[in-house]
Chain A
Amino acid sequence: DVKVTQSSRYLVKRTGEKVFLECVQDMDHENMFWYRQDPGLGLRLIYFSYDVKMKEKGDIPEGYSVSREKKERFSLILESASTNQTSMYLCASSSRGGRVNNEQFFGPGTRLTVL
């Protein structure tokens, strides 16, 4: 069974803390994605990566960075967490298939609260 796992289901951090969200996939997918999900806004793309050590900004990259040192792992980093980063964070992966255009497989999400 294919799987995308995220390191935490729930996380509470304080303003100014550095936060790491980890995502691991076991499908040997080239593409990995980080989204945030907020009520009434749907999913918004933060960053994505189409290969190891490669990254591309999504629609809302401000305040975030990412790291892809290994193919199976994609980390989202909040350098200095702020309350407006309280959200549900979803990781996804997909096979290359030409562009980033194949079905994406999603992890269960991490609900981050910044106090």
Chain B
Amino acid sequence: AQSVTQLDSHVSVSEGTPVLLRCNYSSSYSPSLFWYVQHPNKGLQLLLKYTSAATLVKGINGFEAEFKKSETSFHLTKPSAHMSDAAEYFCVVLWDRLAFGKGNQVVVIP
């Protein structure tokens, strides 16, 4: 069965340090890939998406993600965490429909 794996359900980072959220998927072909962010009491907002163009994708708020087919990964990074980055992040993969990872809850420590 196709699946999306996000390890580390809770991630703590210090303000100003890099953020790395890992996402791996199981698939025999290259799907479309997305990262969404959900701030407290808000709906999900698209951060970035990969649709078979450049493998390094830049998104909003300084985030970027790199698609690595050989590793079936789509990890999300940001060079320097800001307090406003505290939120839950979902890796989402499109096969015949969207499949969501279980999310990373990011806490930013001042």
Contacts and interface: CB of A to CB of B under 8 A. Distances in A.
Contacts of B100: 35, 42-44
Contact of B44 (A58, A100, A101, A106): A106
B90 interface: yes
Main SS of the interface on chain B? strand
Main SS of the interface on chain A? loop
Contacts of A44: 100
Contact of B43 (A4, A40, A100): A4
A12 interface: no
Nearest to A4: B43
Interface residues of A, number: 22
B56 interface: no
A74 interface: no
Nearest to B36: A106
Given A42-B102, A43-B90, A101 B43 contact: no
Interface of A: 4, 9, 35, 40-45, 48, 58, 90, 92, 99-101, 103-104, 106-109
